[in-house]
Amino acid sequence: MSIFKRGNVYWYHFLFNGEHVQHSTKQGNPRTARQIEAAHRTALAKGEVGIEERKAAPMFADLAKRFIAHVEARHENKPQTVQFYAAKLSRLLEYPPIAGARLDRIDEGVIEGYVVARRATVGPATVNRELATLRRMLRLAHEWREIQRVPRIRLLTGERVRDFVLTRKQEEVYLGACPQPLNDIAVLMLETGLRIGEALHLEWADITLAPVNGARFGFLRVREGKSKNARRIIPLTDRAAAMLRERERSKVSGFVFANRDGKPYLGTSINHLHRDVCAPKVEGKRRAIFPSDFVMHSLRHTMLTRLGESGVDAFTIMRIAGHSSIVVSQRYIHPTPEAVERAFERLQLSGDFAVIEPKRLPPATVSATLAGTVAVSQ
């Protein structure tokens, strides 16, 4: 017999004549659950009940419509998230073996065919984002009981990691060329480590410019983000506070970075401004001033790297950045031999420790059995 607990009640499942049978006992007692399972097995053996016919799995195209509706409902305040999934889904729908298949026919072989076809034209990072979208869709289908099994989806290796860090000189050149609102957004990201989406959706109600309760700095509040850890409070440096005070004088809506309609700027609009600064057009052709790896996210990466270089520990970086895992924060920590020595210096100075003299061994002539009384053998 096979029972398992889901929530507060037990379920049972078994195979009968090659068919999978699974039901809830609606009971919280395991002994009662086993009795109900046994009764169902007996009834099947006697022919008193029949095996329920499993309904056909829906088509992938049907799941696509339901998935987009799900994303729009769950991420109503995150249009970029909706656009992201819509774009990745459109690529999946361009591949007939997936688009025209029932969900239970999309197995590892079909998925590998998609990987091979897409890898011929795009890089591993693009393929991986599309595979991640497919995996989320199939997991939802399993959760909604449309399919019995989720195929294993393995991501590609070799993704290009953009870890560009601005030097102080490059920062000066970049900010000097930035128009508004890109300049102020860049300053805020460099001073707080906000994600671009967090910066664009920042509201004046979430900003306190004057220090309160004995604090040294004002602060801003991030109310939501990629994970629950994204909700955090970040102190404001003097440069960030000065920029916000200046911007507050001409605010047009509740958003700190609002367009003419009073709504937040789109990430795509800011990315276009950033591209024009990094590679402006000269006589119809773009001339790169900064490396192609320098993207808007590099401003956040630069700030967090500077924290690590200044000796900030990984747990503090995790709190400031809103990372979901300490593993992500640890990439910014690179301890030097000098930093290791300073750690031991702080340990030694953290309290008054008496210097304990090491115990001396008794002379060789001292009897082992009489060492406690320090009696010397005759």
Give DSSP secondary structure letters for 29-98: -HHHHHHHHHHHHHHHHTTSS-PPPPPPPPBHHHHHHHHHHHHHHHTTT-HHHHHHHHHHHHHHHTSHHH
Q: Which CATH class is domain 168-295?
A: mainly alpha
Q: What was the pLDDT predicted at 19?
A: 79
% of the chain at pLDDT higher than 90: 52
Q: Kindly tell me the number of DSSP H helices and DSSP E strands found in the chain.
A: 15, 8
Tens digit of pLDDT for each residue in 76-124? 877 778 889 999 999 999 999 999 999 999 999 999 999 999 999 999 9
pLDDT tens per residue, range 116-164: 999 999 999 999 999 999 999 999 999 999 998 899 999 998 877 778 8
pTM above 0.85, yes or no: no
Report whether 125 contacts 159 (CB < 8 A): yes
pLDDT at 324 exceeding the cut of 60: yes
Mean pLDDT, to the nearest integer, of 223-233? 81
Quick one: pLDDT at residue 374?
Answer: 45
